[in-house]
Structure 1
Amino acid sequence: MRIERERGVGPIITGFSQGGFKVEADAFRGVYRALLIWPDGSDEWAPPALDALNAEAVAPLLAIDPRPEFLLLGTGATMHRPPPAFVRALEAQGVGVEAMDSRAAARAWAVLRGEGRQVAGALYPL
């Protein structure tokens, strides 16, 4: 699938497939199998198994300033609930967690950043 780029909203996920997520930001283009994305950047992610997910795995996203309102958690090809301890740990830091399948998270990223929302994303591979 291809997603059209909106201007001025930071890195944009321009497409995704079994091979990964395509991201564009100014002159940068990259393909990531699993992805961390925030308003000013993106990076490859080596996530733990979903049932072992903890706050340390997304620490770079929790360190951005300003802190994200919430984390879009793309759980892969289908939606799975994240571990309750992970959700509690992020909520204790003032960051909500919105879990959905990774395709939906990629689409939601574009919409929310287009609205100027301060969000971050952690997307498991499809």
Structure 2
Amino acid sequence: MQLAQTVGQNTFTAYGDGYVSVNAVRHTSNLVVLPDRLIPDWTKADFDTLGIADFELLASLDTEIVLLGTGMMIRFPRPELLRPLMAARKGLEVMDIQAACRTYNVLVGEGRKVAAGLIFF
């Protein structure tokens, strides 16, 4: 399989403890990354205080799948928070931030409609 070109699309170019870089620009707060745009400061919540509105925003995006990066370790959101995604028939994959970055880049390269929601705290 040959990957599509990602020129002109947002991709992760680096990540480390407490940051990611998208197109060589460093980010240290919660954000959503889509191939064609960024949503900086997607939520002010930390993982434990995520609310339904945070997931409603993710469900409203023009995506097939949402990757939820939950910091340095995998943490699963409360089931009731997933209702907006289920109602919108969007897939959700939960992983640590580094895995979310790598997976996002692969999916963008395949031309998939993907969003990565990253929670740093």
Q: Give the TM-score category using the shorter length.
A: 0.7 to 0.9
CA distance 1:60–1:92, shift in 2 (3 Å): closer
Q: TM-score, normalized by length of structure 1?
A: 0.78
Q: Map Cα deviations across residues 33-58 of structure 1 (whole Å, 9 max, x no partner).
A: 12211120113224412233234225
Unaligned runs of 5+ in 2: none
The worse-fitting range, judged by mean Cα deviation, of 55-64 and 105-114 is: 55-64
Provide closer, same or farther for how the CA distance between residues 18 and 84 of structure 1 changes in structure 2, counting only shifts above 3 A.
Answer: same
Task: Say whether residues 1:116 and 2:111 are aligned partners.
Answer: yes
Counterpart amino acid of residue 51 in structure 2? N
1:110 aligned partner, one-letter code: N
Q: CA deviation at 1:88?
A: 2.3
Q: Percent identical across equivalent pairs?
A: 31
Residue matched to 1:38: 34
Question: In the alignment, what sits opposite 1:95?
Answer: 90
- Could you tell me which residue of structure 1 aligns to residue 21 of structure 2? 22
Match of 1:52 in 2: 49
Q: 1:83 corresponds to which residue?
A: 78
Q: Separation in 2 of the partners of 1:44 and 1:89?
A: 21
Taking the aligned partners of 2:70 and 2:8, their CA distance within structure 1 comes to 24
Instruction: Give the letter aligned to residue 81 of structure 2.
Output: F
Q: CA RMSD in A?
A: 2.1
1:3 matched to which residue of 2? none
Unaligned 5+ runs, structure 1: 1-5
CA distance in 2, matches of 1:32, 1:119: 19
